[in-house]
Amino acid sequence: MIWIVLYIIIGMLWQASVAVRLRNTELYRLTHRRMFIVAGVAVVGMVLYFFRGMFGSDAVAGIVGFWLVMVVAFCIVWVALIAANVFSAARYGQEWMTFRNRSLGGMVLWPVGILSVEKALRSEIVLRVECLFSSQTRKWPLARKNFSDLRNVRLRSFDHDGYKIYVQCNPARIISTTAKIDKDSIAGRKCFLCPANRPKEQDLIAWRDYDILVNPYPIFDPHLTIPCREHQPQLIKSHLGDMLDLAHELKGWAVFYNGPKCGASAPDHFHFQAVRVANIPLYSDYENLEHEDVKENVVRIKDYSREVLCIEGSRGLVIETMENLYADLHYDQPDDEEPMMNVVCVWTGRKWRLFVIPRLTYRPSQYFEGKYVISPGTIEMCGVMIAPKVEDYGNITLDDILDIYRQVSYVVGV
């Protein structure tokens, strides 16, 4: 009997350690109520079992014993659920809830379940990112404050032609929105993406030549910045393969790129960013709206307020098509080192989707006239206008937004 009790205690401690590491993550939020209920039942069961002599009758001891068996069963289900969630998230990204029950069947053995979670926590980037968020938003005051402010963020929405465009009031983004990106300003400041100049509280996950970091000035929760370790210019061409591979590993996330003159506040240091796919309206707009062919393997979203092209398929096809598209765009904008664009990459579970958003300008006339402090980067082009100033958030109209999109978009082939 003592061995069974020891087994349960060790198992529960191990579970607790997994739970602590997953604290505040999306997976944890979805399972924590169950965890507490089961843990509560388990503790009461154990206490009753140890004090069963006080009840003095075999019948009561029998009931308590039965309860203990139930507790063990509960524990198995609990771990199975966590394991299933973890695995489904790793394998299927945003669709993990759908697959939860399918994975459940394979996870019924208790220690095997925990071991699987442990392995996944060490090897799956998508889970390590969850844990990075969990620890950074606990230990780093700036990240904690800005992510907690994001929970009360104000959001307006406009309906237009069968889809929605949002405006988010986000005062913390003023630094990024008004960032000076001219050569002198860039040369005169310390690069905040270089490892030597990053805040000391900022932890990272190393991935190839990149460091995956929590963005301390988020637009969405969670929000990652993924700079190269080396200081090198923001030019996407040689990083396309990495972008696709990263999107493949970060299932359920959209990896995106702001061109050096299209929203990147560090145009001198190569970086991607990433947010959850569910946060960007563009992704569902693409699924719900009609498309039309632009070039071979390139479609555009039809009657959309801004030009959004999409390349869909295998890794080789997406890279090859993108290189051709890049060359075409560069032909139209030969003076710049890179044609102006925002790029978003998502792994759908079966293939890649690369959204290319060609740009004509970075900031609209309203910015220079002092009417609105809005500088469209990828997130704005994906359908969420970020207004750092409260009055802009209140005043902006749908017509203003459509006008901004018209000014900053570059329509291909016209």
Kindly list the residues in this chain that would bind Zn ion in the complex (CB under 5 A).
191, 193-194, 231, 269
Q: Which is nearer to Zn ion, 228 or 404 (CB)?
A: 228
Q: Report in angstroms how near the CB of residue 207 gets to Zn ion at its nearest.
A: 17
Q: Which is nearer to Zn ion, 261 or 269 (CB)?
A: 269
Between CA 64 and CA 62 the distance in angstroms is 5
Cβ(246)–Cβ(226) under 8 Å? yes
Q: Which is nearer to Zn ion, 162 or 233 (CB)?
A: 233
Q: Which is nearer to Zn ion, 91 or 231 (CB)?
A: 231
Q: Which is nearer to Zn ion, 267 or 377 (CB)?
A: 267
Between CA 167 and CA 387 the distance in angstroms is 7
Edge-to-edge strands, sheet with 205-207: 205-207, 210-214, 223-227, 271-276, 253-258, 341-347, 352-358, 309-313, 298-301, 291-295
Q: Report in angstroms how near the CB of residue 225 gets to Zn ion at its nearest.
A: 12
What's the token pair of residue 403?
A: 């006008």
Q: Report in angstroms how near the CB of residue 68 gets to Zn ion at its nearest.
A: 58
Q: Report in angstroms how near the CB of residue 387 gets to Zn ion at its nearest.
A: 28
Edge-to-edge strands, sheet with 154-160: 154-160, 163-169, 384-387
Q: Report in angstroms how near the CB of residue 266 gets to Zn ion at its nearest.
A: 7
Q: Report in angstroms how near the CB of residue 132 gets to Zn ion at its nearest.
A: 21
Q: How far is CA 375 from CA 316, 388, 402, in A?
A: 33, 10, 14
Q: Report in angstroms how near the CB of residue 186 gets to Zn ion at its nearest.
A: 10
Spatial neighbors of 35 by CB under 8 A, at least 6 apart, are 19, 78, 82
Q: Which is nearer to Zn ion, 231 or 248 (CB)?
A: 231
Q: How far is CA 275 from CA 63, 163, 174, 214, 386, in A?
A: 50, 20, 19, 11, 15
Cβ(339)–Cβ(409) under 8 Å? no
Q: Which is nearer to Zn ion, 144 or 231 (CB)?
A: 231
Q: Which is nearer to Zn ion, 71 or 193 (CB)?
A: 193
Q: Report in angstroms how near the CB of residue 267 gets to Zn ion at its nearest.
A: 11
* Closest residue to Zn ion using C-beta atoms: 191
